[in-house]
Structure 1
Amino acid sequence: MVLTLTDLTAPQGFQRLVLAQDPQAGLRALICLHSTALGPAAGGCRMWAYPDDEAAIHDVTRLARGMTYKNAMADLGLGGGKAVIIGDARTDKTPAMMRAFGAAVDALGGTYWTAEDVGISPADMAHAAEATRFAVGLSGASGDPSPWTAEGVFRCLRVGARHVFGSDDLTGRRVLVQGLGHVGMSLAEKLAAAGARLILTDINQPALEAAATRLGAQTCAPDQVFDQQIDILAPCALGGVLTDDSAQALTARLICGAANNQLAHDGVADALAARGITYLPDYVVNAGGIISVASEIHGHPDAWRLDRLTAIAGRVDQMLARARDTGRLPAQVADEMVAAMLSPRRAA
């Protein structure tokens, strides 16, 4: 192992951006610490074939900032951080690479805790844990965080439905789930059980068809999402799907999904609101996974995780009520709630 860590210039307001490399293990990764005001930074590790380092830095910094907000809103006693491994998870990933990544995390001395994200499994994280105690989401411990993420999104979606439609009964509601990874599939199952009329889409056609048959759902092509007549959109793939153009085309009245960084830019929230569409900030509703991971970091039982999920749904209710009463966007109210939590006095 020939591991090197190089500090890069972190964006303003960020604490640290590190390039970790081990040519022998095939590792080239970025670890970003946005804030440790409320505790050590925590956030998953994503593996993706970024076209260049600039794209990887853009992604890891946005994700790390989102983790600060997510962890603060969920009241987890953790700061925000994220890691990305540059490469194709299907062809490039090896146990040696993951052990090298674990060593990089360990070299940060507990300022960053890592777990699974896109392209990384509990088995991969177990290899990383061979080189650090700061790797969590392990089988036999908190395990795969995906079901917890899906449960949190489902609970928040029902709260949103009550505010938007006057009832949290999803029977007959047309809900489009975009992306059928671990979280999206679990969410689709919950929605089907609740009586929703599902439309599913994913780039994996065989998986899409199998899920549609099993759940009695319709399907659409990934590029036809915004052509569908729907009540609720649940983005559960990668970020940036809500753009100026899609905001004008969308027929849904509620957006609640698991994907991180769903807005292409902050102004899209205004465009959605202008059309009467309620957007539930992703960092609020998709906190179930990090809640599960936090239980492992802090040594808390399942009951603690369930309490935190209930609290997240309660915060969504509070956020929407405050937005309604003040005429502001839910995203603005959520950001203000987080800012109060991150204030020096509150953090202390």
Structure 2
Amino acid sequence: MTAFWAEPDFDAHECVQLVHDRKSGLTAIIAIHSTHCGPAAGGTRFWHYNDPAGAMRDALRLSRGMSYKNAMAGLPMGGGKAVILADEQRIKTPEMLAAFGDAVEALGGRYITAEDVGITEADMVAVAQRTAYVSGLPVAGAGNAGGDPGPFTAMGIFLGIKAAVRHKLGKDSLAGVHVAVQGTGSVGGGVARLLAKEGARLTLADIHSERAAGLARELGCQAVASDAIMSVGCDVFSPNALGAILDDAGVARLDCAVVAGGANNQLARPEHGVLLAERGILYAPDYVINAGGIISVTLEYLARRAGASADINEVRRRLAQIPGRLESIWAESDATGVPADVVADRMAQKLIGRG
């Protein structure tokens, strides 16, 4: 693995920690990008990487994205991310989760963790046995927010897609708007269900083809192969799986007017935002549109630290601000000719003291 400070995605990160616990078999990376706005908050990803360097790139890029996401959402949190390197069988044990909890605890509150790809609410409960610096835990009682952040992420994306359709296509309704949804897990599946209720026409895909097919039957829409979804002619392409899909080839394949989805780090490199703009495709910066989950997680964590419960109405109020935030980015982009992703990055960098 290349020294992390030599990685192109190293961005003056405050802390990059490699965790290895021989007894449990845990190998993980915890990356803290910025604590300018507060303790670094961001989920833990459990994933198998063919090359460990991929895990480092993910940790660096995702933690920087969390700095931007939390700042743009107006949350008193900095940006961090953890990646647990899974083996090919993706075996996850209680001992590994305990060791990971100990590693988070050792940081003394500089990093707050929660769910991400491959990590469940039950996993966070296990981690919480070893550290208090965790959120996304089950909650009880009507009107309380918390638990799995996926549905809140999905709702924010749905609201962002409506804003994008309004801005780019001039339509106040999603009825008949064709959305190609890549990824039908917790977030993508939630987005698809919300879109279907509004009358959108959907095409779905997932690397787990049976999952996409099942959701397509439920919603009465079409499913296609995972390698075909980016070429589907549609109004909106909504990526809700893994990131870095918008590279040279990916952007060239698109046949849409809007890209708006929940995947983190959708742009493989900064220049791919320029390519989208040159093609006239409206882009919803991922860390702005997908902030619903971290909004819920943060309010849950802060309320628990204060001995209270997070109010779901406050979470919903903050989710409702996502469209306006996107509109401000697109308005500046339209006025200046600067691509939307660059506009958003500049806003976020100012908020974390790096502008």
Task: Give CA deviations for 1:242-299 in whole Å, capped at 9, x if unaligned.
Answer: 1112212211100000000011111111111111101111011000010010011211
In structure 1, the partner of 2:80 is: 81
| Cα distance change of structure 1 residues 62 and 214 upon mapping to structure 2, 3 Å threshold | same
- Whether the aligned pair in 2 keeps the contact of 1:89 and 1:119 (CA below 8 Å) is no
1:343, distance to aligned residue in structure 2 (A): 2.5
- Whether the aligned pair in 2 keeps the contact of 1:9 and 1:17 (CA below 8 Å) is no
Please identify runs of 4+ aligned residues in structure 1 that moved more than 6 A. none
Match of 1:179 among 169, 179, 183: 183
Q: TM-score, normalised by structure 2?
A: 0.92
SS in 1 for 2:320: helix
- Whether the aligned pair in 2 keeps the contact of 1:178 and 1:236 (CA below 8 Å) is yes
In structure 2, the partner of 1:3 is: none
Map 1:138-217 onto structure 2 (within 5 A). 138-140=137-139, 142-217=146-221
1:8, distance to aligned residue in structure 2 (A): 7.0
Computed over aligned residues only, the root mean square deviation of the Cα atoms, in angstroms, reads 1.7
Distance 1:226 1:238 in 2: 13
| Identity value in percent | 45
Distance 2:24 2:246 in 1: 37
In structure 1, the partner of 2:327 is: 317
Q: Is structure 2 residue 302 aligned with structure 1 residue 292? A: no
Range with bigger deviation, 82-91 or 144-153: 82-91
In structure 1, the partner of 2:136 is: 137
Distance 1:94 1:15 in 2: 30
1:324, distance to aligned residue in structure 2 (A): 1.4
Q: TM-score, normalised by structure 1?
A: 0.94
Distance 2:23 2:172 in 1: 53
Range with bigger deviation, 89-98 or 221-230: 89-98
Q: Which runs of 5+ in 1 are unaligned?
A: 1-6
In structure 1, the partner of 2:122 is: 123
| Cα distance change of structure 1 residues 121 and 36 upon mapping to structure 2, 3 Å threshold | same
- Whether the aligned pair in 1 keeps the contact of 2:134 and 2:301 (CA below 8 Å) is no
In structure 2, the partner of 1:307 is: 317
- Whether the aligned pair in 2 keeps the contact of 1:154 and 1:187 (CA below 8 Å) is yes
Q: Which amino acid aligns with 2:296?
A: S
Aligned residues: 339
| Cα distance change of structure 1 residues 87 and 262 upon mapping to structure 2, 3 Å threshold | same
Q: Is structure 2 residue 340 aligned with structure 1 residue 330? A: yes
Q: Which runs of 5+ in 2 are unaligned?
A: 140-144, 304-309
Distance 2:313 2:226 in 1: 38
Distance 1:60 1:274 in 2: 30
In structure 1, the partner of 2:231 is: 227
1:90, distance to aligned residue in structure 2 (A): 6.0
